[in-house]
Amino acid sequence: MNPTRRTAIARMGVALAGASAVPLAAHAQAAWPERPVTVVVGYSAGGAVDAVARTLGQALSKALGQPFVIENRPGAGTNIAVKSVIDAKPDGYTLLMAANALAANMALYKPQPFDAEKDLVPVALVGRVPVVIAANVNTPYTNIKQVIEAAKQKPNSIAYASPGNGSTPHMAAELFARAAGIDLMHVPYRGGAQAITDVIGGQVPLLAMNALEVKPQVAGGKLKVLATLTPQRTPIFPDAPTISEMGFRGFEASVWYALMAPAKTPTAVVERLHAEVQKALQSPEVRERMTAVGGEVLPGDRQMLASLLHSERVRYDKLVRDANIKPD
């Protein structure tokens, strides 16, 4: 065969192969999902993040016609779960239901375990629930202003319990203390249950905790909420004053939930996921369930989540350095 002709045929073949690859790739993305999708959760089953993931997963399964399977992978402060998603194939079939630890762990752990802003792509904010400062019902404090006044008179004389060093409630309480210009004594526990038990029992006077986790004890008259660390009042405790009402305008320390995907996940898949999550969050059924298990529904665009992740990372990085916080 003429060499020139052979070269022309070869080039034609490459061009045809490239042309056919484009519609095939587009078809694969358009057809997503064609099999079950795994949503990894870095917490044990039964907790708030798990409940949020299952609520959203059920809605997405119904909307997209494929199961969204929740896989609980607790350990290392959620780092095991995060790394498993980062290392997964970026095809839209492995997702992460994340919370504040995603931002905090980049500051808490040395060496830095991952870079969430580069290794993951934001899909959608899902919800948030405020952290509250609660107290044993027999403590003399009836509001957070009294705590601030007492702490200023005797620094480190007032103790508060949290679910552990580096936990979101711990970080929230430390951010509040710095905003108020006070020093509180932190008593870390390994989980919220024992912290709540000891505050009810009077071993520790105050408690920093996810609002939903103390709701039953507040309803039962065993704890009282001194303040929610949010700008607006929460429907979980509509009668509880906010930290903004106490003079700290705009201050917020909430637990937030977000859906993430591995970096390089096709944009078309991410955008479709985002759109379906927004639809789900508008559903009365999902909103009701989310309000019960995950606090406030928080729809928003992907840039909103990216900005939140970055700002939280910066805030936690400064706090960890200033307060010398170490993970459990």
Q: Residue 299: its pLDDT value, please? A: 86
Which residue in the block uniquely carries the two structure tokens 């056919």? 20
- pLDDT tens-digit profile of 29-67? 568 999 999 999 999 898 889 999 999 999 999 999 999
Angle at 115 between CA 112 and CA 117, to 5 degrees: 155
pLDDT category, 19, cuts 50, 70, 90?
A: very low
Angle at 212 between CA 210 and CA 217, to 5 degrees: 105
Could you tell me how many residues make up the chain?
328
Least confident residue range of 63-72, 82-91, 163-172, 285-294 = 285-294
DSSP code per residue over 126-178: EEEEEEEEEEETTSS-SSHHHHHHHHHHSTT-SEEEESSTT-HHHHHHHHHHH
| 305 DSSP assignment | H
Bigger pLDDT: 270 vs 25: 270
pLDDT category, 265, cuts 50, 70, 90?
A: very high
Mean pLDDT within 114-141: 96
Bigger pLDDT: 292 vs 101: 101
Angle at 219 between CA 217 and CA 221, to 5 degrees: 70
Q: What is the mean pLDDT of the chain?
A: 90
pLDDT reading at 15 higher than 50: no
Mean pLDDT within 205-227: 95
Query: Rounded distance, CA 37 to CA 85, Å?
Result: 12
pLDDT reading at 268 higher than 80: yes
Start-to-end Cα distance in the chain: 72
DSSP code per residue over 253-279: -EEEEEEEEETT--HHHHHHHHHHHHH
Q: Residue 35: its pLDDT value, please? A: 97
pLDDT reading at 2 higher than 60: no
